[in-house]
Amino acid sequence: MTTPLPSVLIANRGEIACRIIRTARRLGMRTIAVYSDADARAPFVAMADEAHRLGPAPARESYLRGDLILDIAKRAGAACIHPGYGFLSENTDFARAAEAAGIIFVGPPPSAIEAMGLKDAAKRIAVEAGVPVVPGYHGENQDPAFLKQKAYEIGYPVLIKAVAGGGGKGMRKVERHADFDDALASCKREALNAFSDDRVLIEKYVTAPRHVEIQVFADRHGNVVHLFERDCSLQRRHQKVIEEAPAPGMPPAMREAMGKAAVEAARAVGYVGAGTVEFIADGTGGLKENAFYFMEMNTRLQVEHPVTEAITGLDLVELQFRVAAGEKLPFAQKDLAINGHAVEARLYAEDPESGFLPSTGKLWALHLPDDGSVRVDTGVARDGEVTGFYDPMIAKIIAHGATRDEALDRLAAALGQTIVAGPRTNTAFLIALCNAPGFRIGDFDTGFIERNLDALGAVEQPVDLDAVAAAVPTMIEQACWRVDHEASFGEIGHEDESALQPVDPWSRNDGFTFTMPNTPTIDVVASGKRLRVSASQNDWLRYQVGIAPGDYTRTVALAERTDHGERGVADEPSVAVVETNAAWLVIRRGRQTEVALFDPLDVDLESLDVPEGGALVKAPMHGKLIALYVKPGDRVEKGTRLAVVEAMKMEHALTAPRDGVVADVSGHVGQQVSQGAKLILIGEG
């Protein structure tokens, strides 16, 4: 089956661009990609029939340049533009400009985007449509003192939310009156950066909240339906982590009431296309049909749309194209039914053990499940790079089953097969979430993750000695054998083992003797801790590994190298040992352990300049320094906010680790900083 739209320009990047291209190709459409310099070698660029450069990596100079995108669309002869989600997907001006240029915008009418794009206006529309809303202040007065007073009147805890927000950006929960000013300033700054609009509203924070949303679809002929609900309650800092459909414990009467409310909200603004009406439900004592409130409407496709596709058997992107071309919806509400259960996990480049800090770098290894048991949507490839310019998503992994337990079992198994080496990821954290007892029985709300960080492994963990042991034989091999002088290391990589030639016994640095067992010993650094390791080879690919301090010993049976040069452990199929230019990365049970040869000359010279009783504050990640609150000579107390670094659309506040006086400030607001860069020196005082 084909569509009347012959070609599409995808005004987006990453996994959603790949996903749109796949459906468009199936429909016989010509696909046109646009890309920034950071994405020049990204998979979506190669997948498209043609691709055009937008500009430099920052989104404001590339993916947010609607004028450039429209110019390319006109020159490429695009019949329509699909905006995906994020970037320009809910930008009224862009939608109108496309319309004026005679190019179909695959989304709702600009009037609907405008009506629902601002949370305060959307709530007024919802009230007029008879949809319940959360108590709060949704007015125009943005004076900080006035907003603070309103928060006090509403009663803490409250949520500060950007009126133009989405995706958890520009949102802060405030527990105490004393914390309101800092939270408001941070929220406004993040909103301005993400949406070019720093206006906010204040809402009462609902106790035990469940985040439940309804997928709606409408055509240009007055037909509006809902495609049931999704539960997105597993969140961290208002960012969704695992989504599922249908919502666990949803009574049929509540599904009907919520679906009807969502359809009425869509009708109220003359909606067309795919949209999501989001509700907050009071989960105290279970979901109830009279205890849910309208939050907002996202006038676009959602990241979590695959779980809806899994339980309905529909391709939502295909429906978007057909509705945009003027076709009627091919079904009515009575024709739709829920088939089984689906769950989606967002695989992110972030470090749960370090406060979920974004993680960047080269993807030295990438193996995602490909056995057909799950669906994988990704926009990256091995040897690609995760940068700090965009969101941290590596992939979405979607599992479907006849029951919720079956779907979760499949998702956990697929995550266990996932290997990502380079940037740290939340793989182990996601596996723990899938198996968390409370989540399994449906006893959860939006605060579940924060309450269970320890149990989920999202706190600093001890060194994984089993992971170190897996790396030791390969490290010993490298330390004790030499590369043939005719082949450079870079040329042979890991694929030509014949180029690794043994040297004579007198040249080996492993303590070889004729009279004693040969047990090479080396010093390594694993997760910042220095260890002495040894390995004696029992037989081919079997080693007895010891680690000191302590009496750790283990027999490690290495697996043969993969086609990409990785090593595994025979009795632990999920383990992968990946060699980089500077270290060995061991992926075990979803967790990455970095193991490197100890270098006595590798000294942090900047730390030597720290006076006794002082402290050095470094950038915790690659990012942009967007705020500095101190200058040399300022006296600070432990916990004082010093600066804010932004990466992957998220802000990270740096605080003083101790009392003292600021001795030096490096860098300036707006500067890109590297992970570990010196920012602020605090002296004793």
DSSP 622: S
Model pLDDT, residue 53 = 98
- What's the pLDDT score for residue 366? 96
Q: What is the mean pLDDT of residues 498-521?
A: 49
Torsion of CA 513, 515, 518, 524, to 10 degrees: -60
What is the C-alpha radius of gyration for the chain, rounded to an integer number of angstroms? 27
Average of pLDDT values for 83-98?
A: 95
**pLDDT attached to residue 61:** 95
118 vs 403, more confident: 403
Q: What tokens were used for 389?
A: 């310019």
Q: Which two tokens stand for residue 491?
A: 């040329």
Share of the chain above pLDDT 70, in %: 91
Both tokens of residue 104?
Answer: 């179909």
Name the CATH code of domain 605-683 (choices 2.40.50.100, 3.60.21.10, 2.60.40.420, 3.40.120.10): 2.40.50.100
Mean pLDDT of 138-159: 92
Buried b (16+ CB within 10 A) or exposed e, 392-422: bbbbbbbbbbeebeebbebbbbbbbbbbbbb
Mean pLDDT of 609-620: 76
User: Whole-angstrom Cα distance, residue 470 to residue 567?
Assistant: 9
Residue among 162, 248, 257 nearest 203 (CA): 162
Give the residue, 28 or 538, on which the prediction is more confident. Answer: 28
- Annotated domain spans of the chain: 7-106, 135-204, 209-451, 465-597, 605-683
| Predicted local distance difference test score (pLDDT) of residue 41 | 96
Q: State the average pLDDT over residues 92-121.
A: 92
Active site (catalytic) residues: 300
Mean pLDDT within 258-286: 93
Give me the CATH topology for the region 465-597: Glycoprotein, Type 4 Pilin (3.30.700)
What is the DSSP code string of 144-178? HHHHHHHHHHH-SSEEEEETT--TTTTEEEE-SGG
- The correct answer on CATH 3.90.10.10 for the domain covering 209-451 is no
Mean pLDDT for the stretch of residues 651-677: 85
pLDDT at 486: 35
Please report which confidence band the pLDDT of residue 496 belongs to, taking 50, 70 and 90 as the band edges: very low
Residue 35 pLDDT class (50, 70, 90 cuts): very high
Provide the 3-class DSSP secondary structure of residue 43: helix
**Superfamily of 135-204 according to CATH:** ATP-grasp fold, A domain (3.30.1490.20)
Q: How many CB atoms lie within 10 A of CB 560?
A: 9
CB 442 within 8 A of CB 244: no
- Give ∠ CA 200-231-224 in degrees, rounded to 5: 80
Q: Which of 118-127, 203-212, 397-406, 602-611 has the lowest mean pLDDT?
A: 602-611
3-class SS of residue 309: helix
Residue 499, pLDDT > 70, answer no
Cis omega (within 30 of 0) for bond into 549: yes
Tally: H helices and E strands in the chain = 18, 41
Please tell me the distance from the alpha carbon of residue 108 to that of residue 95, in angstroms, as a whole number: 9
pLDDT higher than threshold 50 for residue 497: no
The reply to whether CATH 3.30.365.10 applies to domain 7-106 is no
What residues contact residue 513 under an 8 Å CB cut-off, 6+ apart?
none
What is the predicted pLDDT for the residue at 657?
86
Least confident of 88-102, 397-411, 553-567: 553-567
pLDDT tens for 575-613 read 999 999 889 999 999 999 999 999 887 665 555 566 676
Measure the CA–CA gap between 469 and 485, rounded to whole angstroms. Answer: 29
pLDDT band at 491 (very low <50, low <70, confident <90, very high): very low
